Amino acid sequence: MNLKSMTQPEIGAVLKELGQPAFRAKQVYTWLHKGVRSYDEMTNLPKGLRDQLAEKYPICAPKVVRKQESQKDGTIKYLWQLSDGNCVETVLMRYNYGNTVCISTEVGCAMGCAFCASTIGGLVRRLEPFEMLDEVLFTQIDSGLPISRIVLMGIGEPLDNFDNVLRFLELVNSEDGMNISMRHISLSTCGLVPKIDALAERKLQISLAISLHGPNNEIRSKVMPVNRAYPIEVLLDACRRYFAATGRRIHFEYAMIDGVNDREEDAREILRRMKGLPAHFNLIPLNHVEESPLKPSSKAAVAKFQKILEDGGITATVRRTLGGDIDASCGQLRRKYNKESSRA
């Protein structure tokens, strides 16, 4: 295991085997969570220990291969190259309440959603905990902006990488690390029901977001193949169990797709299905993907859809589009880079 994927007690066990005193664990852990690129930067460690750690546990910092900054709103999109040459995306978004980073949890994605560029080419591999942590750390370091919130909503399905994601959450929340509150972390899933139940058992205070994108099985299965395994009724039952276990209101992501899921009757069907489930709907103007025939709904259709939900008692907001002048949508920058690399 990479040293940065370890908890402080686990690092302590490694150092004990090397004959080091217990206080060294906090020193090493703190340095790693500051984003050092070399053990030589750990100036309060003996040189002999630094050399031992460098030999047994090399630090693998990601490299920026593409960086785009929006001239409209300051959103920054990073394409990071990992130690094995694979690339993942991270997006830094600036809000008046602080800076949020959207991170990837996998290289590629196996879920096959029709509107998403991340899934083109399928799943390559799952990210290790330290690689997710590095997305946050090095985005903060490169941008010079403090990060106070995290959304796991980039490339990949977080619950498909369940154990590594839970370890990442523990690390990024630790007092001697970045110390980002669980209440400032959102995890978005396409709806892997057994993993939602497993997450509920942990009773974490994160925000859970469900990618719904359809009011019924017929529509949702067309754009989200996962619905064939976990139909919408099964998914919403899991959401009710999650709320009962955690007391945390669930957020539903809903990409507005012209002529597919944006009719008035679709909004009314959602109202019927959501009875008794505390929920917030985030209506997302669809970002067009070159390889997909799907188009975004009109502003009028989105506004009407929102009004029907709100009149029916569901809080609904329209997501503010950030990074519209760059490749800010999930998977677009990686897809473009891979195309260019294959032609080179």
State pLDDT tens for residues 248-278. 999 999 999 999 999 999 999 999 999 999 9
Domain ranges, ordered by start, for the chain: 3-56, 63-343
The 3-state DSSP class for residue 187 equals strand
Residue 215 has pLDDT above 60, yes or no: yes
Residue 286's closest CA among 334, 332, 251? 332
pLDDT of residue 338: 65
Quickly list DSSP for 99-120: EEEEE-SEEE-SS--TT-GGGT
Q: In the predicted model, what is the mean pLDDT of the chain? A: 93
Residue 255, CA distances (Å) to 79, 223, 240, 252, 287 in order: 24, 10, 22, 10, 9
Res 127: pLDDT: 98
* Predicted pLDDT at 293: 85
Q: What is the mean pLDDT of residues 145-167?
A: 97
pLDDT reading at 328 higher than 60: no
Share of the chain above pLDDT 70, in %: 92
**Of 162, 116, 127, 128, whose CA–CA distance to 330 is shortest?**
116
Which among 54, 13, 30, 78 is positioned nearest to 332, based on CA atoms?
A: 78
CA-nearest of 300, 311, 303, 327 to 117 is 327
Give the pLDDT of residue 324.
63
pLDDT at position 292: 75
6-14 average pLDDT score: 98
Radius of gyration of the chain from its Cα atoms, rounded to whole angstroms: 21
Contact present, 279 and 250 (Cβ < 8 Å): yes
List strand residue ranges (DSSP E) for the chain, in order: 63-69, 76-81, 87-95, 98-103, 106-108, 123-126, 149-152, 185-189, 207-211, 250-256, 279-285, 315-318
3-56 CATH pick, 1.50.10.20, 1.10.3720.10, 3.40.50.1220, 1.10.150.530: 1.10.150.530
pLDDT tier at 326 (50, 70, 90 boundaries)?
low
Which of 70, 131, 112 is closest to 333 using CA atoms? 70
Catalytic residues: 89, 330
Average pLDDT estimate for 129-153 = 98
Two structure tokens written together for 246: 């955690």
Contacts 24+ apart (CB under 8 A), 15-20: 15/49, 18/49, 18/52, 20/49
Residue keyed to tokens 């972390």: 185
pLDDT digits (tens, 9 = 90+) for 271-311: 999 999 999 999 998 886 777 788 999 999 999 999 999 99
Residue-wise pLDDT tens digits, 85-120 = 999 999 999 998 899 999 999 999 999 998 888 888
Which CATH number is 63-343's, of 2.60.40.10, 3.20.20.70, 3.10.129.10, 3.40.50.970? 3.20.20.70
Identify which has the larger pLDDT, 284 or 323.
284
DSSP labels, 236-247:
HHHHHHHHHHH-
pLDDT at 323: 60
Q: What is the pLDDT of residue 185?
A: 98
Work out the average pLDDT over 108-134. 93
